[in-house]
Amino acid sequence: MSYPIVANPSFSGLIGVSQAVITPPAGIYAKNWGAATHETAEGVHKPLYLTCITFRAPGMADPLVLIGADLGWWKSADDEKFLRNGILSKTGLPVENLMFCLSHTHAGPSLFREDAGKPGGHLIEPYLAEVRDKSIAAIRQAMTAETTATLAWNYGKCTLAVNRDLPEQGKDRLLVAMNPGQPADDTLLVGRITDSQHQIIATIVNYACHPTTLAWDNKLISPDYIGAMREMVETTTGAPTLFLQGASGELSPKDQYVGDTAVADRYGRQLGHAVLSTLEDMLPAATGLSFQGAVESGAPLGIWAQTAVTPPGTVAYALTDIPFTLKEMPSLAEIEAEWAACADAVTRERLWRKRGIRKTVGDGGTSHMPLWIWRLGDSLLVGQPNEAYSAFQQQLRAELDGKAVAVINIVNGYAGYLPPESLYTEDTYAVWQTPFEAASLELLIEKTIDIAQRILRE
């Protein structure tokens, strides 16, 4: 019997990295919570960043471009297209080669240009144009910095995230709050990129947890817990960190909805320590452990030793549209009429968000949602625009065992939640917010597994 070589899932190819600050100006419209009494940001807790990594196999004309940005979510497909189509137009990238991923901070600026008439709303469109232009520059800088490098992945654990579907005592509904009676996915996936001199040039952190620490009492622009995590990891590695929000539909911090930025920083350090621990657990690049044989001592000892391995350089990718059936819901005109007649601030905010969702999915009965799947050697990056529950990443990783699978929410768009079919009998925010009918998450899981397995066979 021979034992297989044990190594971190890896990819070797041409990789480029760049980073830019995208902090908006103080005074920009930033009311992300219906319960908030303020409308504009009064200052900055920590800067917002945009991190870009390009991947290319030798001979590929266009790289795969991964961008992580400290931004919240899209309230309109028009605004997302304004940014992404501008990037694609200026760079010449095919649509399947770009994943623009939002961290989902709830303490960022509005990205909705139709908020222009609100206090600080006039700053939104110029800010989006600035993010677009900085993204274009970051892609060019990363391509210029391209070097032969190895991306290696390792799974770790972090207990920051908890389940946030809490049955309310005495009522037949679920609150968006910690449910200590339900487990939460604690999976952390860390990617380490090293150059030919074994120097770390970037770190990728894929973790599923809503950045909802800071809420209606917070008046500062903030990346939430991601900021302190980034500071810790970048200080230790000396290289940029790109954060990818996982399938966090029902996952959040324990203590959330606060105005104290120290709480967000504490959570960031918690995740940062987990990231650094996961990095320390990794083998050197292009290295595995091979079994050397037995040594007889006080006990029979098996010896594993480091050995050189060749990371694969395979690059493959697919973009597909998945048809989701829409729930019965009012038309855009009906929502706008209801919003215009409503006087309650919280209800108006909910209607305004529903209006944006209806504009995104259209007035029909079906909406086609895009799905990006990239293969980089032994790893898969799976991106889609909605807020999938963690069953999405758990089932993918179980079916694709042996591969590193980075699952990313809020990629290249946004419409709503993807809760499991079993929740559709409950009175819960994720179900009444989503425009998608029951079993949409299960359809996404099935289609993703099919496409991923096909890509891995090619």
pLDDT tens-digit profile of 78-110?
999 999 999 999 999 999 999 999 999 999 999
What would the pLDDT profile of 385-394 be if each residue is shown by its tens digit? 999 999 999 9
- Give residue 34's pLDDT: 87
Indicate whether 255 pLDDT > 90: yes
Count: domains in the chain: 1
Average pLDDT along the chain = 96
Q: Is residue 343 part of a domain?
A: no
Give bridge partners of residue 153 from the DSSP assignment. Answer: 191
Residue with tokens 């529903």: 354
- Please tell me what DSSP assigns to residue 436: B
Q: What is the pLDDT of residue 29?
A: 98
When pLDDT is averaged across residues 253-262 and rounded to a whole number, the result is 97
Residue 144 has pLDDT above 70, yes or no: yes
Is residue 239 a contact partner of residue 202, using CB atoms and an 8 Å limit? yes
pLDDT band at 1 (very low <50, low <70, confident <90, very high): low
Show the DSSP H helices in 323-407 as ranges.
332-341, 345-361, 391-399
- Quick: pLDDT tens for 51-85: 999 999 999 999 999 999 999 999 999 999 999 99
Give the pLDDT band of residue 354 (cuts 50, 70, 90): confident
Main-chain phi, psi angles of 430, to 5 degrees: -60, -35
Q: Which DSSP helix (H) or strand (E) runs through 265?
A: helix 261-280
Asked if residue 342 belongs to a domain, the reply is no
* pLDDT for the residue 5: 96
Give the tokens for residue 371.
């799905």
3-class DSSP state of 63: coil
d(Cα 59, Cα 294) in Å, to the nearest integer?
Answer: 44
Q: Which residues contact 258 (CB under 8 A, 6 or more apart)?
A: 213, 214, 215, 217, 218
Give the chain's length: 458
Q: Is residue 303 part of a domain?
A: no
For the beta carbon of residue 307, count every other beta carbon within 10 angstroms: 14
Q: What is the DSSP string of 174-223?
A: EEES--TTS----EEEEEEEEETTS-EEEEEEEE-----SB-TT--EE--
Question: Residue 352: its pLDDT value, please?
Answer: 79
192 pLDDT above the threshold of 90: yes
Over range 138-147, report the average pLDDT.
98
Distances (CA, A) of 207 to 92, 223, 408: 31, 15, 9
Is 255 domain-assigned? yes
**Is 340 among the domain residues?**
no
Residue 352 lies in a domain: no
- The answer as to whether 293 is a domain residue is no
Residue appearing with tokens 């400290």: 70
Distance, CA of 21 to chain centre? 18
Whole-angstrom distance, CA of residue 134 vs CA of residue 124: 15
pLDDT of residue 138: 98
Six-digit token string for 155: 């799974």
* DSSP symbols for 86-130: HHHHHH---GGGEEEEE---SSS----GGGTTSTTGGGHHHHHHH
Helices 225-237 and 261-280, axial angle in degrees (round to 10): 40
* CA within 13 Å, CB half, 313: 12
Domain holding 87, by residue range, is 9-282+311-326+365-457
Instruction: Classify residue 196: in a domain, yes or no.
Output: yes
Find out whether 251 and 390 touch, Cβ atoms under 8 Å: yes
DSSP state of 84: H
Cα 11 from Cα 149, distance rounded (Å) = 8
CA distance 127 to 329: 33
Q: How large is the average pLDDT for residues 129-148? A: 98
Q: Within 10 A of 201 (CB to CB), how many other CB atoms are there? A: 20
- What value does the mean pLDDT take over residues 288-308? 97
